[in-house]
Amino acid sequence: MTERDYVASKEQIISEFRRHERDSGSPEVQVALITKRIEYLAEHF
pTM of the full predicted structure?
0.80
Main-chain dihedrals φ then ψ at residue 44, nearest 5 degrees: -95, 5
The count of structural domains within the chain is 1
∠ CA 25-31-33, nearest 5°, is 80
Written as tens digits, the pLDDT of the chain (45 aa) is 777 887 888 889 999 999 999 998 999 999 999 998 898 889 888
Angstrom CA distances, 3 to 7, 8, 9, stand at 6, 9, 10
Domain coverage including residue 37: 3-42
CATH of the domain at 30: 1.10.287.10
Question: What distance in Å separates the CA atoms of residue 45 and residue 27, rounded to the nearest whole number?
Answer: 27
